[in-house]
Structure 1
Amino acid sequence: MSTKQLLKTGLLVILMGGCAGHTQINVQSVAPAPVSSNVDQQFKQLMEDDWQYTMETYPDFASYLGLGNDELNSRWRDMSLEALHQTNLHYQDTLKQINAIDPNQLSAGDKTNYQLFKWQLEMSIEEHKYKSYLMPIDQNQGVQTLDDMANFVSLSSVKDYENWLTRLEKIPKLLEQNQTLMETGISQGIMPSRDTMLRIPAQIKKQLVEQPEQSLFYKPFANINDSIAENEKARLQQQAKSIITDQIVPAYGAFYEFFVEQYLPATRASHGLWDTPNGKASYEQKVRYFTTTELTPDEIHQIGLDEVARNHAEMDKVMEETGFDGTFDEFVNFLRTDPQFYYETPEDLFEAYLAISKRIDPEIVKLFGKLPRMPYGLKAIPDAVAPDSTTAYYNPPAADGSRAGYYYVNLYQPETRPKYEMEVLSVHEAVPGHHLQLALQMEMDEMPAFRRFLNFTVFVEGWGLYSERLGYDLGLYKDPYSRFGQLTYDMWRSIRLVVDTGIHYKGWTRQQAIDYFKANAAKSEADIINEIDRYISWPGQALAYKIGQLKMLELRERAQNELGDKFNIKAFHDTLLGSGSIPLSVLEANIENWIESVKSSK
């Protein structure tokens, strides 16, 4: 499961970062004071206890990180209403404990940890009150895609397979819990948009097989590790077939019936969060949460309009460079329809992605002094979800070193995957984008666990989008079409600011958003529709990319202007990434401190 897919297991607040209540974190607001080892130890113990609670409460996440034990690796998260309520009470109790600690008595390093830890607790508590957990699935992830978890758990020993089988036996209970959440959502009017939910029946149907060997859940058992004895293989395979036939398929059948007959008819005809209980307030919180700023939806909408206009001007110049004789709309249609810009087969598309990645890798040393130890690989997005998935995504490595990072690419309908977007996509998702940043962060052993493994979207995705500009420094975008592809991706994230706020705050319809996207970007219509439906399902998340990138570009320009010949791009990037994923205000303070230290050096 991707980081995105973990969101619907209950890790939305913890994983993605953001804010609630006190939006700006000012690390300089805590006055220096003598260090008290007792207070430091008390705080460290509180962080450690909460991390252990996180692993126990979110066993899916523990398995994903490679930190699970046999008990954790054999169960799913408890998604009952009572369990969700108890988790919220835990966060409230932990917040009381952290408020009882005087941050002035902490060591310098723990002052930042204190602020970030407290902030995450506050946003968890505020997120809970808007009851987004009553909409537990969407077209990109949920209980209909539980089989994908097998890609991220260790399956090398008999015990590993037995743990996985135990987990499979608990799927009917998890489906029941999700159904209860959805039924509660119906009764309280907290419902998703019908247009996105219409995609899900076909996804659930993929779990309704006639023969157990056809099940997506059987795939790990079809090719069991050769180190396992044949008699054990046969036993595990037979047990998997029995669980699939007797438990999993009937449970999904009942869930399908509920979804089609009760849930789907009750979904909203509207698209935006504004049309839900406390919808506008909920969206305002998500804007603060995902951007780590005090920007309002209206301010972000205007930033988006300005960035769209800027990108248009640059795209017009590139279009002229190609010698195309026609309007912008005609040029975009040419890019969408001319066969020269597309591969004919999924295999050719995959090989081209692989070649691009290998071309980028050796160039990274030009821009970074510190690189991660963990490598990354390339995989295709699973066929079961590819039609409803985005163009690509990245999954970080396992914390125990048992799994590399992986850059997943969508090979579905290669005739809709433009060649001129492949370079910019690769620098965003792999290196110097997500893999470099997240793998480095996971290797920061000196930081507490919550900072190594949990992220602020505005930093992670801001870095990914900032990395797209680094493609020029890496020798990419040699031809005008690839440059147009880079601008298309930048335009894409600019458009997000407009359409996300439009849909969820200004009452735009789905079709309005699709039309605006099509009028301003060269992405294929299939990609555009998938993107718009993603924004509908994940209010506010798409704002983080551009807001984070703009701050990073601003800080780089400031550093270059103030340091002149003393500016070193490797040192700048090492400083920018050196504290892991952090809110933008903390990032700005870090860079300002670095600028001053360089100025004062001889």
Structure 2
Amino acid sequence: MHSIRIALFAATAIPLAACATVQDPAGPNAMMAAAQADADAAATDAHERLFAIFAAADEAELANNPINALFRGDMRYADTLGNYLTDAYNNTERANAQDNLAKLQGIDRAALDETDQIAYDVFAYDQREALSNLTPEILALTDVRPINHFFGFHTFYPTLSSGKSAAPYKTVEDYENGLSRNAGYVKLIDRSIAKFREGMDTGVLETKLTIGNVIEQLETQDALKIEESPYWGPIEAMPDDFSAADKARLTAAYRASIADVYAANRRLHDFLKSEYYPQARDSVGLSQMKGGAALYQQLIEQTTTLPLTADYLHNLGLSEVARIKGEMERVKAQVGFTGSLSEFFDFIRTDPRFKPKSREDLTQRYYDIGEEVEAKIPAFFAVTPKTDLEIRPYEPFREKFEAGGSYQSGAPDGSRPGIFYFNAYDLPSRTTPGETTLFLHEGEPGHHFQISLAQENEALPAFMRFGGNTAYVEGWALYAETLGYPMGLYDDPYQRFGTLDDEMLRAMRLVVDTGLHAKGWTRDQAIEYMLANSGMGRTDATAEVERYIAIPSQALAYKVGALKIQELRDKAKAALGDRFDIKAFHQQVLGTGALPLPVLEQKIDRWIAAQKAG
């Protein structure tokens, strides 16, 4: 279509200009039409050149990050995990980003339409962020800490290889690819050990806490027989149409390959336990690690997409904690509880009415919540994902160290569902009032809507369909929790307490993350703060704090992003009055993928102005 438009404009421009020279009465209009034609042609040319840059960058990204291709259903690189933790990988990433920025300079941004300008801005932002992570100074602080209990291939890879994730096991070639990936995993674990050794030499070390947890994770996996491990799942589900010879050959090959995976994990375990753990840091805060204070400031700005400081975020958290505690006091009074707020927290933690009876009972609760939420969705969203949502508990081999819930994206074409995982570990320590909130966040309309709608939008360039930033992604999911109020899901005071308790968690994260990584807080100090200000059980509070220790700054994104989206909604409502449409607002927020917060704000401001102009 674009090439046809260019040809038509080029063909009509000369005759129209000629008419004007003989003082045709339509001359001024003809000249305006010619000018518009030239502008449209320029915009079309700029669009096509911009999207050619995007397409080339995406191809380069997938070639260097084959796991991303696998999750998108692209099987071209399915036989490899990639050469992560190598100079070659980092050099390729750096060269790609530099090349992308150089090409972008050749595009006249002013010639692009509004949507393409957003894409231009996000792409430039992403490339600059990539380069900031690939400086020698930063890599010396990050690559030498390749694994902790919350981030690492040692927990990601078993699920990927289970036959229940993105890696397909439908053809003989799929199974051969799985064997090749297993070999790549072994190499990656050995490279991880080498990187840990580099950190030991330079004094950049992980914490005893995170490494101790990794050791336990590896021991949990090693205790499983090969036939009981996730890796054996594809053999248990081998397609019936495979020949007897292929079945026998692949079964034997997988047994040997999985044994190699187990051996690599044991090498990692033994190295960490006997050599690394004794030298690991006793402290837990990033600012107490060599080079960690500067790294934490960079992480804050990357995570929030805003130039914020640890002090600002700490104080924002304290303010939000005080506000939410006031709301909790009102719920306590409404249900007639006469004790202190701390005693009310203990009541919620311990009363049997708030305890799930079993894993099956908890699963059914989430099924019921899903049906209730889906009945409310049409009043708030004009566009919903075609990708289905599946509800699952975490697998037992990883549930102890996982968060209360998480989301795994489905296939872009809807052929594989998105998955809402919930945690059924240590059920006696868990409470039920926050279940609705967790589903809104991880499932519908939280991560499942935001991620699926972006992936399914083929009009967007790939980096906007599949990329994103934590402030937008987690900010949207926390904002989605607040929709439970107008949906009528929090009319019950205990459900309302549940969502306040979850909101309190995100407010406390601002306090605790900055406390740990900028203000010298200890692990126990952070846990006690969370117990004193919420209804969380000790198991959950401990898991949360250890998560913040493992992935500094990630916890800051939730409140920062949600507050920005709420601010933009309130601005639109105030400006548009009765003309404000919540479904239209949500489509504006979700319609162009996960934007850096400044880019999102500019987009919403333009939308408000356009709505006011009619």
* Pair in the same fold by TM > 0.5: yes
User: 1:470 Cα shift?
Assistant: 0.3
Over 3 Å counting, the alpha-carbon distance change for 1:209 and 1:414 in structure 2 is closer
Q: Is the 8 A contact 1:563 1:595 kept in 2?
A: yes
Q: What secondary structure is seen at the aligned counterpart in 1 of 2:242?
A: coil
Q: Is this contact kept in 1: 2:299–2:553, CA < 8 A? A: yes
Letter in 2 for 1:460: V
2:520 to 499, 504, 507: 507
Q: Deviations over 1:243-269 (max 9, x none)?
A: 223x22222222211111112122111
Task: Choose which of 77, 80, 84 in structure 2 pairs with 1:75.
Answer: 80
Aligned residues of 1:34 and 1:105 also touching (Cα < 8 A): no
Match of 2:250? 236
CA deviation after TM superposition for structure 1 residue 38, in Å: 4.8
Deviates more, 1:96-105 or 1:457-466: 96-105
5 Å-filtered alignment, 1:404-419, equals 404-419=417-432
Q: Give 1:195's aligned residue.
A: 209
Secondary structure at the residue paired with 2:82? coil
Instruction: Summarize the alignment of residues 214-293 of structure 1 with structure 2, pairs less than 5 Å apart.
Output: 214-245=228-259, 247-293=260-306
Mean Cα deviation higher: 482-491 or 468-477 = 468-477
SS of 1:241's partner is: helix
Question: CA shift at 1:166, angstroms?
Answer: 1.6
Partner of 1:112: 118
Letter in 2 for 1:117: F
Say if 1:207 and 1:216, in contact at 8 Å, map to a contact too.
Answer: no
Which one of the candidate residues 150, 159, 169 is aligned to 1:140?
150
Instruction: State the 1:102 CA deviation.
Output: 4.0
Residues in 2 aligned to 1:143 and 1:126: alpha-carbon distance in whole angstroms: 23
Residue 445 (structure 2) aligned to one of 432, 443, 447:
432
Kept after mapping to 1: 8 A contact 2:393/2:423: yes
Which whole-Å CA distance do the structure 1 matches of 2:325 and 2:555 have between them? 20
**Structure 1 match to 2:312:** 299
Q: Tell me which amino acid in the other structure corresponds to 1:398.
A: A
Question: Within 5 A, what are the aligned runs for 1:442-521?
Answer: 442-521=455-534
Q: Which residue of the partner structure matches residue 323 of structure 2?
A: 310
| DSSP-derived class of the 1:472 partner | coil
Return the letter of the residue paired with 2:52.
Answer: Q
Q: Does 1:35 align with 2:48?
A: no
Once the two structures are TM-superposed, the CA of residue 345 in structure 1 deviates from its matched residue by 1.2
Q: Could you list the per-position Cα deviations for residues 420-471 of structure 1 after superposition, in whole angstroms to 9, with x for gaps in the alignment?
A: 0101111111111111111111111111100000011111111110111101
Deviation at 1:319, TM superposition (A): 0.6
* Residue equivalent to 1:529: 542
Q: Which amino acid aligns with 1:76?
A: L
Residues 210 and 503 (structure 1), Cα distance of their counterparts in 2 relative to 1, 3 Å cut: closer
Q: Whole-Å Cα distance in 1 between the matches of residues 52 and 391 of structure 2? A: 39
Deviations 1:174-221 (Å, cap 9, x if unpaired)?
111111111112222222221122111121123435853233321221
- What is the identity, as a one-letter code, of the residue corresponding to 2:400? P
User: 1:51: which partner in 2?
Assistant: 58
1:368, 1:574 within 8 Å by CA — same for their partners in 2?
A: yes
Asked if residue 322 in structure 1 is aligned to residue 322 in structure 2, the reply is no
- Give 5+ residue unaligned stretches, structure 2: 1-38
Counterpart pick for 2:109 among 103, 122, 126: 103
Supply the distance in 2 between the matched residues of 1:575 and 1:149 (Cα, whole angstroms): 34
**TM-score, with structure 1 as normaliser:** 0.91
CA contact (8 A) 1:81 1:181 kept: no
Give, in whole Å, the separation in 2 of the partners of 1:480 and 1:37.
55
1:479-527, Cα deviation, whole Å (9 max, x unpaired): 2111000000111100011111111111111111111111111111111
2: CA distance between counterparts of 1:208 and 1:386? 16
- 2:412 is matched with 399
**How far off is 1:92 after superposition?**
2.8
**Residues 197 and 264 in structure 1, CA contact (< 8 A), matched pair in contact too:** yes
* % identity of equivalent residues: 34
Aligned twin of 2:383: 370
Distance 1:508 1:547 in 2: 22
Q: Which residue does the alignment assign to 1:574? A: 587
Residue aligning to 1:159 = 173
Deviation at 1:95, TM superposition (A): 2.7
Distance 1:36 1:559 in 2: 29
Q: CA deviation at 1:170?
A: 2.4
Superposition RMSD on alpha carbons, in Å? Answer: 1.8
Measure the CA separation in 1 of the matches of 2:415 and 2:248.
Answer: 26
The residue that corresponds to 1:179 in the other structure is 193
Q: TM-score, normalised by structure 2?
A: 0.89
Query: How many angstroms apart in 2 are the aligned matches of 1:210 and 1:359?
Result: 39
Conserved? CA contact 1:535–1:541, under 8 Å? yes
CA contact (8 A) 2:548 2:554 kept: yes
Change (3 A) 1:174 1:310: same
Task: Tell me whether 1:352 sits opposite 2:365 in the alignment.
Answer: yes
Q: Aligned letter for 1:167?
A: R
What secondary structure is seen at the aligned counterpart in 2 of 1:415?
helix
Higher CA-based Rg: 2
Shift in alpha-carbon separation, 1:519–1:487, aligned structure 2, 3 A: same
Q: Are 2:85 and 2:195, in contact at CA under 8 Å, matched by a contact in 1? A: yes
- Equivalent position SS for 1:553: helix
Question: C-alpha offsets along residues 515-547 of structure 1, whole Å, 9 cap, x if unaligned?
Answer: 111111111111111111111111111111101
For residue 331 of structure 1, report the CA deviation from its aligned partner: 0.8
* Bigger Cα displacement from structure 2, 519-528 vs 195-204: 195-204
Deviation at 1:551, TM superposition (A): 0.9
Q: Decide which of 564, 569, 578 is 1:556's aligned counterpart.
A: 569
Higher alpha-carbon deviation: 297-306 or 198-207: 198-207
Aligned length, in residue pairs: 567
- Contact residue 456 and residue 465 of structure 2 kept, 8 A: yes
Measured against aligned partners, the alpha-carbon deviations of 1:6-42 in whole angstroms (never above 9, x if no partner) come to xxxxxxxxxxxxxxxxxxxxxxxxxx99835555443
Residue aligning to 2:6 = none
Alpha-carbon offset, residue 81 of structure 1:
2.7
* Paired letter, 1:551: K
Paired residue type of 2:168: S
> Helix, strand or coil for the counterpart of 1:406?
strand
Give the match's secondary structure for 1:73: coil
Amino acid at match of 1:85: N
Distance 1:395 1:295 in 2: 29
